[in-house]
Structure 1
């Protein structure tokens, strides 16, 4: 039955209330109205329905106000048990599985060493099915529903078709994965680029609230980028937009993990830095294609403490980044270019050469007012972003299912 015309905005208002509670935590009804431009009567009606559906809970009223006047505000909050999501982060020879609750908080996290590069596409799918099934069995008691699964992948993915096009963590290409997992677990499956997950977390921070046009560059084993235009990720025709790491710095230059030569990643990623250093410095014996965090920290420290070889290697990486960032600035004119990821450990050793390359490439008018900043990588934001994106994508499904269950 169609809703009366006066109620046409009701679903949007309900979702706005849910999103505000997820962002702010417990909020009084009157404040929810002010935050969303919704009347007090509408908020009261929506919150009553959400309480009946078990999607929110009400905190016990506090004692009187400090001035002794009026009744204290009663706060409402999302019921964290109303739904959950499972987010899987795929890295080279490792996967991380995280359970997030309806309020967006991490409730469980685990890491598994897996020889991802040795798996066929079918083996990879079966491994994911087994790991996710085990997490669901062991960790989802008490949740009303599994809303969705998110797979966050480094590399090129097509979110629309649910296909992993290419990832340095896998030896195969063009693997449809979302449909198989959705059929197995009977829930929605989102496939996301890891840089887009990280950008989702950063864009929500108050420090970047004025940056509707935001570029996030993630340094690490590889190099990823997310471009937000008016707050919306730019994905391109098949999800492969913003592959900053595989744009060119030196045609016919150093070999990249993608199999081509001269990519920015082939100069500024962890494996590229360690590969360049391995032939010139006394380094710990290792597979230079997969250096550990400890090995990268040691190499970075050499550059920061004045080793001339390490300094030259990081300066070249900075120039590669600078050339790429200059192209991004000329093409997108972002408010902010934010550099993060585990590889930001070496940003201090790169930034002088990076800024010089940008200055050489662009006239002042093209640099404009774009800011370039680094953001400390004190925690991995990939799964946090995956949880937030997955919850928001499935809130409508959760609402409909809770309404159906209440009627039944």
Structure 2
């Protein structure tokens, strides 16, 4: 007969306790039971096992209550040093590596300027192996084990097969990355689209917890999207679903970074906005194909200040975004559409044209009660999402390995 530790119900309850501690921080045992619908006896037994495995620690008891009544609660928390994960964000000309501890907090971050478009697939693998090995060595000095790695990529990926299908940051396509790195580092390697990583962070926030059918649109150098249906990411047959930026706005229109014409991205992305503006507006010097944040800030300010050409360009971008969103509303009828990413800096300049396009494209009944909102981009959530996804994916194996 299977031992209690390997019983599926027991495992589910243990994972629920771990997720709650990761989301909320220190929690009393009695509150863990209430939050997860688990009996006090079960929580006590689970916490005893986790303490024995070194996966949680107890905090000192609270100060006794002034009236002297009742016993103080003892809080438990995940032991940050119990394990770590590494998340690598690959974007145009940049590689970011982050270490996340077992509690899901970022402990180390480093950036490397890389000419990503000059790399071959073999060179990328060699570079990743080198940088991950360096970061792993540092991480294992303060964490007991490395349980997983996440590669978050700007572009189209198959998370099922671990294959990078296409990215604007690279000149090659269809590269199997996960299996090679997993063999090298002897741990699971997840390959994720950057928008899915960001959506996982937003979906966990209390402000958005009541929206099970959630769409997150990422504005930035490219245009990304993640669709959550009943809280579960919709990935499609090979993991490359929800490529909103490469759906069509104007067949035969402006050239997209994917090589095709008329994509929404070819009108709404940073490079598209800057390309359109550079023909008619004097702009700061720099790489017009890969505009920097200062370049985009300068262009956005022109639009917000009423510069006629800038206003026109952002309005066209908003119109493309609106027609794309109209299709999204008709097909998925989500509870909430969140627009975020670094490109949200220009959302105000796009907003009215976007709303007009939605109204032109759809009857009111198809627009329905869907809420459309923007979310400030005050921090890059990609690596935080990658850390959370990797920890959740590897928690069961860690529990089994610790018994």
Which interval holds the TM-score relative to the shorter structure?
over 0.9
Q: Structure 2 CA distance, aligned partners of 1:67 and 1:395?
A: 42
Q: CA separation in 2, counterparts of 1:287 and 1:79?
A: 45
* Distance apart, 1:4 and its partner CA: 6.8
The whole-number CA distance in structure 2 between the counterparts of 1:296 and 1:5 is: 54
SS in 2 for 1:190: strand
| Residue 354 (structure 2) aligns with | 354
2:163 counterpart residue number: 163
The 1:120/1:82 distance shift into structure 2, 3 A limit, reads same
Change (3 A) 1:312 1:5: closer
Alpha-carbon distance between aligned partners in 2 of 1:104 and 1:318, rounded to the nearest angstrom: 36
Q: Aligned equivalents of 1:237 and 1:103: distance in 2? A: 32
Query: Residues 4 and 10 of structure 2 are in contact (CA less than 8 Å); yes or no, is this contact kept in structure 1?
Result: no
1:329-408 matches, within 5 Å, as 329-403=329-403
For residue 142 of structure 1, report the CA deviation from its aligned partner. Answer: 2.3
Once the two structures are superposed, the pairs formed by residues 8-407 of structure 1 within 5 Å of their partners are: 8-403=8-403
Distance, in Å, in 1 between the alignment partners of 2:217 and 2:175 is 26
State the distance in 2 between where 1:211 and 1:102 align.
27
1:7 CA displacement: 5.3
Relative to structure 1, the CA distance from residue 150 to residue 296 in structure 2 (aligned partners, 3 Å threshold; closer, same or farther) is: same
Q: Determine the C-alpha separation between the residues in 2 that align with 1:163 and 1:117.
A: 18
SS in 1 for 2:373: strand
Going from structure 1 to structure 2, the CA distance change for 1:297 and 1:392 (only over 3 Å counts) comes to same
| Cα gap change, 1:307 to 1:5, in 2 (>3 Å) | closer
How far the C-alpha of 1:400 sits from its partner, in A, is 1.1
Q: Partners in 2 of 1:289 and 1:232 — Cα distance?
A: 35
Deviations 1:146-174 (A, max 9, x none): 01000000110001110000000000000
Distance in 1 between the 2:84 and 2:5 partners? 33
TM-score, reference length from structure 2: 0.99
For the structure 1 residues 126 and 7, does the alpha-carbon distance in structure 2 shift closer, same or farther, using more than 3 Å as the test?
A: closer
- Note the residue ranges of structure 1 that are not aligned, 5 or more in a row: 404-408
- d(CA) in 2 for partners of 1:331, 1:67: 59
Separation in 2, partners of 1:257, 1:7 = 50
Cα distance in 1 for partners of 2:68, 2:140 equals 44
Any idea what SS the aligned residue of 1:9 has?
helix
Q: Distance in 2 between matches of 1:8 and 1:310?
A: 58
Q: SS of 1:359's equivalent?
A: helix
Greater CA drift, 95-104 or 394-403? 394-403
Q: Give per-residue Cα distances to partners, 1:80-121, cap 9 Å, x unaligned.
A: 011100000001010100000000000000000011100000
Q: Which runs of 5+ in 2 are unaligned?
A: none
TM-score (ref. length: structure 1)? 0.97
* 1:139, distance to aligned residue in structure 2 (A): 3.0
Q: Do 2:33 and 2:40's aligned partners in 1 also have CA atoms closer than 8 Å?
A: yes
- Cα distance in 1 for partners of 2:28, 2:240 equals 42
State the superposition RMSD in angstroms: 1.2
Paired residues of 2:215 and 2:226 also in contact (CA < 8 A): yes
Deviation, structure 1 residue 401: 1.4
Q: Per-residue CA shift, 1:310-354, capped at 9, x if unaligned?
A: 000000000000000000000000001100000000000000000
